[in-house]
Amino acid sequence: MRRKKKVLVVGGGSAGWMAAAYLDAALNHDGQSVVDVGLIESPDVPRIGVGEATIPNINHILSVIGIDQHAFMRRVDGTFKQSIKYVNWVDNDQSWYYHPFTRFRKTPIDRSAERWLMSSRSIPFTETVSPQPIICELGLSPQMLGRWDFGTELTAAYHMNALKFADYLCEIATSRGVQHYLDHVVDVEMTEAGNIAAVKTKNDLRLEADLFVDCTGFAAVLIEKTLGTRWIDCSQWLLCNRAITMHVPYEHHYPGYVRPYTTATALSSGWVWEIPLQGKRSLGYVHSSDFISEEDAERELRQFEGAHADSLSARTVHFKTGYREQAWVKNCISIGLAGSFIEPLESTGLYLSDLATVMMTEHFPFGDDMEPLAFRFNRIMANRFYEILDFINMHYCLTRRNDTPFWREIRNPERVTDRLKAKFEFWRSKPLSATDFEDQFLLGQPDTPLPSSGQFGDFRAPIDTATIFGIDSYEAILYGMDFLRAECDARYGNNRPASTVYPEVLQKLQLAPQKLPPHDVWLQRMVGMPDYSSGRT
């Protein structure tokens, strides 16, 4: 009979409580109790709360923990997210395109992209293959008020209050036996073999564990300060390093709707997220301090939002783009900001915590030898980081904007990852296909090993397997940003047929206003959002 293991999560927040709640739910099930899970968080460390947008993968975490959708949305001020709308990214002219979660594909061979490239491009690509951009423009919910009878369901994720999500997970986890310590870690005790033996606290607690999970954010108390694991800086490709954040309560200003999508609007030195919640909108101006001062960035954010934002408070969040050389070292796993960070342009912040949590559970060290488990964990986490890095980098380097120093700099070739350059060259020679991501290695892509000196014997370059962003996502961004425009003009001429929309998409759109309620109406009736439009709260 194997010995019961102890896990201590150091640090709370959404990353810490997701790790604790999921680990307990996934391993201690069906009457089994194979792991003791505890979490310690400091009451002295202020919590940072911004509106959080997710991708559909979050549904796996919620399902395993056993969280009902309606209960979840009520507790976290949740709203639906069907897509991301990008404004001003191609040109500074208020033009936009969507990255939706649902699209239609012809079978057995899908030639949607080829058909569109040979057309006039008079209709944005995603609108020809997906009903969601127009459903989003109409402000409709992705779910009906009653039983679904509208064909294929629409895929959606959520917007939520991250602090309330952490509190909700804490409540669930502690009710099931997860130990919760409110104390400040002041020292870390090590073994002769270099493992962490215990943490010591301000109130003289000594907490032992077999496995420690570092969720202490950029402070990285265990993985960096104790174990000395190097941070790999990736700011060469993503220049933004600050965010000015602001909340706009609906009591203060209600725009008359709750958008069922996230908006990312490019400004002079970065971009602004707009995340609608049930009681407020969350805004954040992600920008580069090398191109704009904090004062000017805040001024630009207030101008973007309007005069009603002048009296609202704002705060600055500093961040750094990169990842740990190894996310799992000895008996310590770093999750959340302690392990990696990429700006939230595609809502991957919680996803990376989600992935690390699921991976930790799948690779849980029931035995004493953690090395082979850590090796695979580190490889997959690094691959996934580079996959996301390429995808976010693509949004910037395809822009035609040259109206400010920031946008001119972001277009320089040295700001484009080598892997992404190879992808562009390959896709200039053929249309995208799903097999392009099969153990991806393309002609012209440098064979540069991962910068992980501690990963003995792993001399492979990072690869993109489209686990999170596959052909549908790449087509949405590439064609939304007019990739291959010049090549298609030269190849097919300027007198091309008008773009057309698949009949299946048109049929969905014709019925959508009858089947799908406005997003705010669904939220009011199904999860209890107040009716701000009528002045009743």
C-beta of residue 415 within 8 angstroms of C-beta of residue 239 = yes
For residues 473 and 480, give the distance between their C-alpha atoms in angstroms, rounded to a whole number: 10
Reference 212, options 348, 456, 37; nearest CA is 37
C-beta of residue 81 within 8 angstroms of C-beta of residue 53 = yes
Name 232's bridge partners.
323
Is residue 225 annotated as part of the catalytic site, yes or no? no
Reference 238, options 94, 385, 380, 57; nearest CA is 385
The one catalytic residue in 81, 85, 330, 423 is 81
Burial of 110 (0-12, 13-18, 19+ CB in 10 A): middle
Q: 91: which 2 tokens?
A: 């040109």
For residues 79 and 68, give the distance between their C-alpha atoms in angstroms, rounded to a whole number: 14
Q: 70: which 2 tokens?
A: 């309606």
Reference 201, options 214, 189, 213; nearest CA is 189
Q: 478: which 2 tokens?
A: 């590439």
For residues 379 and 305, give the distance between their C-alpha atoms in angstroms, rounded to a whole number: 42
Cis peptide upstream of residue 446 (ω within 30 degrees of 0): no
Which residue is listed with tokens 């069907």? Answer: 82
C-alpha triplet 461, 467, 468: angle, nearest 5°? 110
Q: What's the per-residue H, E or C state across 146-196?
A: CCCCCCCCCCCEEEEEHHHHHHHHHHHHHHCCCEEEECCEEEEEECCCCCE
End-to-end distance of the chain based on CA atoms, in angstroms?
A: 57
Give me the helices (H) in 97-144, please: 112-117, 125-129, 132-137
CA 523 distance to own-chain centroid: 23
Catalytic residue ranges: 81
